[in-house]
Amino acid sequence: AHAARAGLESYVFIPADLEPGKIVITAVYGGNVVAVDGTYDEVNRLCAELSGLLPWAFVNVNVRPFYAEGSKTLAFETVEQLGWTYPDHVVVPIASGSLLTKVHKGFRELHEFGLVDEAPRVRVSGAQATGCSPVATAFASSSDTIRPVKPATIAKSLAIGDPADGYYALGTVRETGGAVAAVSDDEIIEGIRLLARTEGIFAETAGGVTVATLKRLAAEGVVRRDEQVVVYITGHGLKTLEAVEPVAQPTRTIAPNLDAFREAFPGAIGSGAEEVG
């Protein structure tokens, strides 16, 4: 979108199996969208090679500090909306790991710059999918080594098998007394549905990961009942419709008349309802 507005030629490299909705909202701007038969990690590697060969800027988040620093606004907005107080605990999705570390940095800076008197004591927890959980695996094994994995999950926006900031995300979680958990694809789908039916918010798969992780951490006692918890939902469900399409279909299909509706939903029209037609 920025390249189109500025009249610049752009090349956008994506994994070939990226969700269709994300491909459409990228390609509509008219740039060169290059689908690569590989993972996000392999796409990033190709982009790095091209930027070394050609006079092109590589705008990946991990090599673009202004983009990464901008993620701190999640922390700023959280504290502002809570009346300039910190939450007790936050749950952040982990892809590269940058978002989690920047949210934590944002909390610290609010105190350092004098906007909040007290120093933050926010517990920061991370959320991953079991099909791509190198940080969660390291946390569970009390290791400092993030071992790369080949992603296999419906949460494609979190499918970074070799997270550039994974080590730092792991350190932040341990420093703040949080945890990192991984949830299955079925749990992700249920997390999306749970948020939609209880809060009216339709999240993409990464949001399903954070909701499902919160549920897991609460069941394990990591998240306590007396804590004020903020869960970050980082994308809209319209971008990942195929994840929930099989379980989000019309309740009934009926003919266009009242009798058909009464038959399909016998309890919907009470006995005292006024007869129509």
pLDDT in tens, 13-24: 999 999 999 999
Q: For residue range 86-102, list pLDDT tens digits in order.
A: 999 999 999 999 999 99
Of the listed ranges 38-42, 137-141, 145-149, 207-211, the least confidently predicted one is: 38-42
What is this structure's pTM? 0.88
Q: Do domains 2-59 and 66-246 have the same CATH topology?
A: yes
Quick one: three-class SS letters along the chain?
A: CHHHHHCCCCEEEEECCCCHHHHHHHHCCCCEEEEECCCHHHHHHHHHHHHHHCCCCCCCHHHCHHHHHHCCHHHHHHHHHCCCCCCCEEEEECCCCHHHHHHHHHHHHHHHCCCCCCCCCCEEEEEEECCECHHHHHHHCCCCCCCCCCCCCCCHHHCCCCCCCHHHHHHHHHHHCCCEEEECHHHHHHHHHHHHHHHCCCECHHHHHHHHHHHHHHHCCCCCCCCCEEECCCCEHHHHHHHHHHHCCCCCCCCCCHHHHHHHCCCCCCCCCCCCC
| Closest listed residue to residue 17, CA positions, set 39, 1, 33 | 39
Task: Yes or no: say if 125 and 177 are a contact pair by the CB < 8 Å rule.
Answer: no
* pLDDT at position 58: 84
Q: In this prediction, what percent of the chain has a pLDDT beyond 90?
A: 89
Q: Residue ranges per domain, the chain?
A: 2-59, 66-246
In this structure, which amino acid lies at residue 262?
A: R
User: Looking at the domain that runs over 2-59, which CATH code has it been given?
Assistant: 3.40.50.1100
Q: Is the domain defined by 66-246 classed in CATH 1.20.1630.10?
A: no
Chain segment 46-105, per-residue pLDDT in tens? 998 998 999 988 887 667 788 889 999 999 999 999 999 999 999 999 999 999 999 999
* CA-based nearest residue to 135, from 173, 185, 105, 189: 173
